[in-house]
A and B are shown apart, each in its own frame.
Chain A
């Protein structure tokens, strides 16, 4: 069975603060893929990043960075110098080969960035 846990249901920060969104996953598979999606107030789900289980290299994209640690089964997402436009619900998701094409989503973290 697969499971994704986003323990932080809601985070509130002030603009320009750094914020980290936690994601912990469970899977018995050795090959799996991790994703982050953003859901802004408009409602659509926007793909942010995909990570393979055999690639633990951290990734940075502008103000966004991701820290993948297999030893702790975590795939955390950090926003540096947050902006009001970052306000959204962020979902972490897991997919493993033995689960077919199914994406298992976490419950999401609502991030509110105040000016």
Chain B
């Protein structure tokens, strides 16, 4: 079975440009999570969806960040405009939530560098 798929795996862009990260969760999973990993702050939850609905976006750093999940098999995280401090590894994870105990499975991550 395919795991969580993320694209692109690497992205280099210039400050001010729009960046779109993509995620395909594991088929059948009903929850999707976006995390950011940096040396300074470790792993942070940005936002999570349940049944395609955003449940908690309190981790989204600012209005430049937005996330969508138009259907059960696709989600995007967009940064507009991007800034050098957004450079990080962005992970998408999915799980099948059935009672609050399910395991989150992570994608390979997108390594973003904003120059």
Give the CA-CA distance A100 to B50 in the complex, in Å: 11
- The proximity string for B residues 18-62 relative to A, scoring 1 for CB distances below 8 Å and 0 otherwise, is 000000000000010100000000110100101000011000000
Shortest Cβ distance from residue B45 to the other chain A in the assembled complex, whole angstroms: 6
> Contact residues of B with A, CB < 8 Å?
31, 33, 42-43, 45, 48, 50, 55-56, 89, 91, 93, 95, 97, 100-101, 103-109, 111
- The proximity string for A residues 73-115 relative to B, scoring 1 for CB distances below 8 Å and 0 otherwise, is 0000000000000000001000101001111010110000000
Is there contact, CB below 8 Å, between B43 and A91?
Answer: yes
Main secondary structure of the interface of B (DSSP, over half): strand
The closest CB in chain B to the CB of A6 belongs to B42
Chain B residues whose C-beta falls within 8 Å of the C-beta of A52 in the assembled complex? 101
Is there contact, CB below 8 Å, between B56 and A100?
Answer: yes
Set B42, B55, B101, B109: member contacting A44, Cβ < 8 A: B109
Is there contact, CB below 8 Å, between A103 and B104?
Answer: yes
Is there contact, CB below 8 Å, between B109 and A101?
Answer: no
Beyond A33-B101, A35-B103, A97-B100, is A105–B109 a contact (Cβ under 8 Å)?
no
Chain B residues whose C-beta falls within 8 Å of the C-beta of A37 in the assembled complex? 106
Give the CA-CA distance A14 to B40 in the complex, in Å: 28
The closest CB in chain A to the CB of B58 belongs to A102
Is there contact, CB below 8 Å, between A43 and B111?
Answer: yes
Given contacts A37-B106, A43-B89, A101-B56, 9 further A-B contacts (CB under 8 A): A42-B108, A44-B107, A44-B108, A45-B91, A47-B103, A100-B55, A101-B48, A103-B33, A103-B104
